[in-house]
A and B are shown apart, each in its own frame.
Chain A
Amino acid sequence: MRVSKSETEIGLWIAVKVTDSNGKVISRQRRRKSHSYVQGWNWAVCAQFLGQSTPSPTLGLVKNTAGGNVNLRTCGSPFRCNAGAGTTSTGIRVGTDNTPVAITDYALKAPIAQGTGPGQMEHQAQTFAWIGVAGNVCSFQTERVIVNNSGAQINVREAAIYMTVFYPTAGTEICACRDLISQDVPDGGSVTVTYTIRIVA
């Protein structure tokens, strides 16, 4: 596969799939360019470029996913988002708000909590797949299945990746990217969000 450089950029792509309670695919948003990384991603990359384990300079204040200001520094678990089942502090998350994406977004606007209560969804473990090099493209994917056992339909309108970063005393989480999606997930069904990170030489 050879991709024309003029048609691409160093990119992030998103695909979404919804299944019903029988596992049948009822809606699919084919892979398209992600709206964007948000500032948290660039802060995380900058922190890694800048620092080393000891000493590690701090970059300055940036908001974590809880909205608190953290003085970011080089991370001992950089970019980590291999969330296990039920974990919502990192990994792919979804929400119900459709406010347009801004570079300063630091979290989903209305994240869906883990659980089986009204408006909640069950988060399965985040998975990763190294795709490798094909022609002038090098890519990998990360994916998460999020199941609706709430008893009613949930209208998913946004998706994001939360990942671990570090500030001088502890780890915290920041939002790497955010996208608007529009998928209605029936009770018993699931939504699968797949992000592809791709470079084109």
Chain B
Amino acid sequence: MKLYYEVIVIDRQGKVILRENRESRSWVMAYNQLVYGGMSSSGQSVKCTDGLNRTQSTTYDLLLVSRPAGYDNRGCVVGSGTTPVAVSDYKLNTHVNHGTGPGQLEHYECTIIYPPSVSGSQCSFRVKRIFHNASGGPVTVREIGVYASISNNYDACVIRDVLGAGAPIPHGGAITVIYTIRAIA
């Protein structure tokens, strides 16, 4: 299964000032734990984004990624860290929080673009989120990822990438993050 991301940065006039489209570095450990737990019906102890280990659900609320606007604890997330990706990563290096304060970005709704579509030998769907900069100054995004639920109340990092180049978002601008999850036969 392949994973790709696309990052698009626009200025306050809506002009595209940066676009990066490449294969994702990686799913990380929690994804495999959550799938393992689901397949085997044996809940795993998963390190959550707050650094604490908790037992995953093997029923509902497993791998939920969609999230309404204003929440920065689930769905696509962005950060400013540059630490290389490791399979044991459990959060972004330096998470950018939701808000309009210095260094913050407004998190729009995280949407799943579905149903999965088949084209040739591929089947794909996408995860998308827009982050708007109303902080009053530039905010530079250097890492992106996806946080997913392990149970009703807790989340784990399942994807993390460090961008090829930092994405400076001017005040009034926005960054759109799109992940494409693709099965290829």
Contact = CB atoms under 8 A, between A and B. Distances in A.
Interface of A: 5, 9-12, 35-39, 41-43, 45-46, 48-53, 59-60, 62, 74, 76-82, 101-105, 128, 130, 133, 136-140, 142, 163, 197-201
Interface stretch (B13-21, B54-62, B94-102): B54-62
B28 A43 contact: no
Most buried by A among B2, B3, B116, B125: B116
A92 to B, nearest CB: 11
Contacts of B35: 79, 197
Contacts of B26: 10, 199-201
Given A77-B59, A133-B87, A38 B183 contact: yes
Given A77-B59, A200-B87, A49 B118 contact: no
A48 B116 contact: no
Interface hub of A11, A76, A138 (most chain B Cβ within 10 A)? A138
B121 A82 contact: no
Contacts of B115: 43, 46, 59-60, 62
17 contacts: A11-B1, A35-B185, A37-B1, A42-B116, A45-B125, A49-B65, A74-B64, A77-B58, A78-B38, A78-B58, A78-B63, A102-B185, A103-B120, A128-B36, A137-B87, A138-B32, A163-B39
A43 B185 contact: no
Given A10-B3, A138-B29, A140-B36, A43 B184 contact: no
Interface stretch (B40-48, B135-143, B169-177): B40-48
Interface in B1-35: 1-3, 25-29, 31-33, 35
Nearest to A37: B183
A50 B114 contact: yes
A16 B118 CA distance: 29
Nearest to B44: A130
A82 B41 contact: yes
A137 B125 CA distance: 25
Contact of A140 (B2, B32, B63): B32
A48 B183 contact: no
A49 B39 contact: no
Main secondary structure of the interface of B (DSSP, over half): mixed
A60 B25 CA distance: 30
B82 interface: no
Contacts of B59: 76-78
Given A9-B2, A77-B58, A82 B39 contact: yes
A130 B37 CA distance: 10
A193 to B, nearest CB: 14
Contacts of A48: 62-65
Given A46-B125, A50-B64, A138-B87, 9 more contacts: A10-B27, A46-B112, A53-B60, A76-B59, A78-B38, A79-B39, A102-B185, A128-B36, A140-B36
